[in-house]
Amino acid sequence: MKKSLLTFLVFILLLSLIGSPVSAQSLEAKLIASDGWAGDMFASSVSVDGNIIVVGVPGDDDDGADSGSAYVFIPGKNGWSEGTRLIASDSSAGDMFGWSVSVEGDTIVIGAPCDDDNGYNSGSAYVFVRDKKGWSEEAKLTAGDGSAFDRFGDFVAIDRNTIVIGAIGDDDNGTYSGSAYVFVRDKKGWSEEAKLIPSDSAAFKYFGESVAIDRDTIVVGAIGDDDNGTYSGSAYVFVRDKKVWSEEAKLIASDGSASEYFGESVSVDRDTIVVGAHGDHDNGTYSGSAYVFVRDKEVWSEEAKLLPGEGAVGDRFGQSVSVEGQIIIVGALGDDDNGYNAGLAYVFVRGKSGWGEVSKLMPDDSEAWDHFGEPVAVDGHTIVVGATGDDDNGTDSGSAYVFNYTGNK
């Protein structure tokens, strides 16, 4: 009896040392293209909404080198299955269609930042809609004042009938000062509603490096901002009143410093914003971090700084972020647990005492250079994590993993 009791107490002690809470999630599927090939970079971008997952493949070569494509996956009797492959109606080599993707209901927007309609690498974005017959191209969006090297479409996001598109190469206020464009849909189709430029725009700010939207709030990252030092970075919040967008806040890290690249990734859900800073060095050079901001009335304040429990040099934690409700997913594509740059993704949950890490996501077949965690997305209980360096269909063919998150045990 004494031995059994001692064994039991040791077991309880070990559990306490492992940590709490323990997250309950399962790997539902590994997504790869049915016609995948080396260099496709499948899952360079991912987005999920309800029962639709969209995966961008900018390295697809079907219409010429790096013309690009995107795949739609839907749930079936045997799990997630490949539904439709989307390509641009005027697809051509080098467009990088699929570099960015976003889905909302029956609408998908796909960025092609190297499209040349307004000059070399001026960029564009395509809108696809679904009806009973399937998915079809509804519109091609370009900037009203687009020009060469704007890279319009580098990042896209959609919420309801509003799309925001980043153009980091726009030079209205100097080389790579950057901008973001807002398009809205009405009965007549899509039209440009606004061009967003920060109040302190300047050359090499790279405003538009990341974008996110929820209802009447848009967040735009600017990794080149230097308020806290060269490339310390920032993120700007814009809000819409009727049809007019105005700058509500500029977000910077309370402990920011040079080369942290705060704003490399952004995500917003209602009154919560997450901003990734993959160059943060709290756990070593380029170990990375992510910051959470909350809004009270019209005032944004920093709520938390997220760091992984096992952060290390080169992890690049914060390269990608996604928030919905009380869940945040943060990608760390440089993590080396399963080999150099194999990658990880972390799940954080907001509890009574604040935000806490509840899980590390890592597939069983993870290997060096997979870059698992380069893009991440969450909606409801579904988490999608891309691994552009996965080699199932050849070197850097890429894959995406789908996890079902059901909370904490």
Break the chain into its structural domains and give their ranges.
Answer: 24-408
Which tens digit of pLDDT belongs to each residue from 18-33? 333 344 568 999 999 9
pLDDT at 24: 57
Domain 24-408 in CATH 1.10.10.10? The answer is no
In terms of Cβ atoms closer than 10 Å to its own Cβ (0-12, 13-18, 19+), residue 323 is buried
The number of beta carbons lying within 10 Å of the beta carbon of residue 71 is: 26
Single-letter amino acid, residue 166: G
Which tens digit of pLDDT belongs to each residue from 275-287? 999 999 999 999 9
Low-confidence ranges of the chain (pLDDT < 70): 1-25, 408-409
Q: Are strands 299-306 and 317-324 parallel, antiparallel or unpaired?
A: unpaired
Q: Are 124 and 162 in contact (CB under 8 A)?
A: no
Sign of the C-alpha dihedral computed for residues 383, 388, 389 and 393 taken in this order: positive
pLDDT at 393: 96
Tokens of residue 336, six digits? 């080396």
Q: Give the phi and the psi of residue 128 in degrees, each rounded to 5.
A: -115, 140
Whole-angstrom Cα distance, residue 169 to residue 148? 8
State pTM to two decimals: 0.93
pLDDT at 406: 82
